[in-house]
Chain A
Amino acid sequence: QKEVEQDPGPLSVPEGAIVSLNCTYSNSAFQYFMWYRQYSRKGPELLMYTYSSGNKEDGRFTAQVDKSSKYISLFIRDSQPSDSATYLCAIGGRGGFKTIFGAGTRLFVKA
C-alpha cells in the first residue's frame, strides 16, 4: 500500500462547479497536511497547509482533514478555468519525517 493514495484523474468540470479532490494516507504519525497546485510546465506551489484535523478556508478553497479516517480533501467553490492544474496532496511531520506527495489529480475546468 502506498503511503499516500490519490486518484490521478483527469477530472473535468464546467466552470462554476464545486470540485472535490481527495487523498488517503496510511501512517497516522503524519501531522501536517498540504495541497500543492502545479500548472503545466511549472513547479508545484503551496495552496493550503493544515495541521491536525479540521477545516481551513482560504477564499474559494477549503482544506479538510479527518485524521480518524486518514482522509484529506480539498474543495474548490465556483471553479474557474484558471484553476485547471494538477493538485498534489502532501503529508509530512516533524522529527525527520519527509514530505510524501500523492500522485496528483489533473483538473480541467471548462469555460
Chain B
Amino acid sequence: DTAVSQTPKYLVTQMGNDKSIKCEQNLGHDTMYWYKQDSKKFLKIMFSYNNKELIINETVPNRFSPKSPDKAHLNLHINSLELGDSAVYFCASSQDGGGETQYFGPGTRLLVL
C-alpha cells in the first residue's frame, strides 16, 4: 500500500506547454511538500503546505502553482514550461512541519524538449 504516490512517473513535453503533477498521501499527515532534484542530485524545497495552507514558498517562478484540495493531496501545475524545468520532482509528507521525518514519493521525471 503506497504511502506517498505521484502521477505521472514520467513526463516528456515541449517547451511552452502547461502540465500538472499530482500527489497523494495516505499517511494522515498534515504537511506536504514539493521538491525539485536537479541532475546533480541536489534536492531543493519548492513549496510546503500544512492543512491545505501554504507555509513555505521558496524563490520559485510564478509559473509554478501548487494546489491542495485537501490535506491528503498536493498538486503542482507548471505553466509555459522551459528547458530548465527538466528535473525530477518529488512530493513528500510529514506529520508536522519543520524537522519531522519526511516520506517521499517515487518522483516524477520531467523532460522539457
The answer to whether A42 and B101 touch across the interface, beta carbons within 8 angstroms, is no
| Chain B residue nearest in CB terms to A103 | B42
The 8 A CB mask of B27-40 against A (1 = contact, 0 = none) is 00000000000001
User: Is B68 engaged at the interface, CB distance under 8 Å to the other chain?
Assistant: no
B49 in contact (CB, < 8 A): no
Chain B CB within 8 A of A14 CB: no
Closest to A86 in B: B41
Q: Is the CB of A93 within 8 A of B43?
A: no
Chain A nearest CB: distance from B38 CB in Å?
10
Taking residues whose C-beta sits less than 8 angstroms from the other chain, chain B's interface range is 20 to 34
Knowing A44-B90, A104-B41, A104-B43 are in contact, say whether A96-B98 is a contact too (CB < 8 A).
yes
Number of A residues contacting the other chain (C-beta, 8 Å)?
27
Query: Which residues of A32-55 have CB atoms within 8 Å of chain B's CB atoms?
Result: 32, 34, 38, 41-46, 49
Most buried by A among B43, B97, B106: B43
9 closest A-B pairs by beta carbon, nearest first, are A92-B99, A43-B104, A32-B99, A101-B43, A104-B41, A97-B98, A93-B99, A44-B104, A94-B98
Residues of chain B within 8 A of A92, CB atoms compared? 98-100
Chain B 79-113: CB-based contact to A (< 8 A → 1; otherwise 0): 00000000000101000011111111111000000
Complex contact A45–B43 (CB within 8 A) = no
